[in-house]
Amino acid sequence: MLYEIRTYTFKPLRAAEWLAMYESEALPLQKEFLGELIGFFTTEIGDISQIVHIWAYKSLDDRLERRDRMAADSRWQAFGSKVKALDILVSMESRIMRPTDFSPLK
């Protein structure tokens, strides 16, 4: 199993706006296409303009296939257009992590 950790950084005081829109419009699509959501987090200490989410995949090929199918969906494209129009996203970071042999998450 592989885990993708995605970190989004927003303009100050704008993360909550994105989060509300994401929960109602994008989360159902990502659950449909990506599958296993491990966690979704906001920052309490540190850069409070960040949101982090973690998704599990069987392999890099599994991730690529799932994300490609989602990217081709018109509902996902519409969400992306709305986010772009808001002009609130500063940066996005994606890391692929592989658990160690002794990790509770395998």
Q: What is the pTM of this model?
A: 0.90
Residue type, 10: F
Give the tens place of pLDDT for each residue, 3-25: 999 999 999 989 999 999 999 99
Q: What is the pLDDT of residue 35?
A: 87
Token couple for 103: 């990790």
**What are the chain's domains?**
2-97 (3.30.70.100)
Q: How far is CA 97 from CA 13, 28, 55, 94, 104, in A?
A: 29, 24, 10, 10, 14
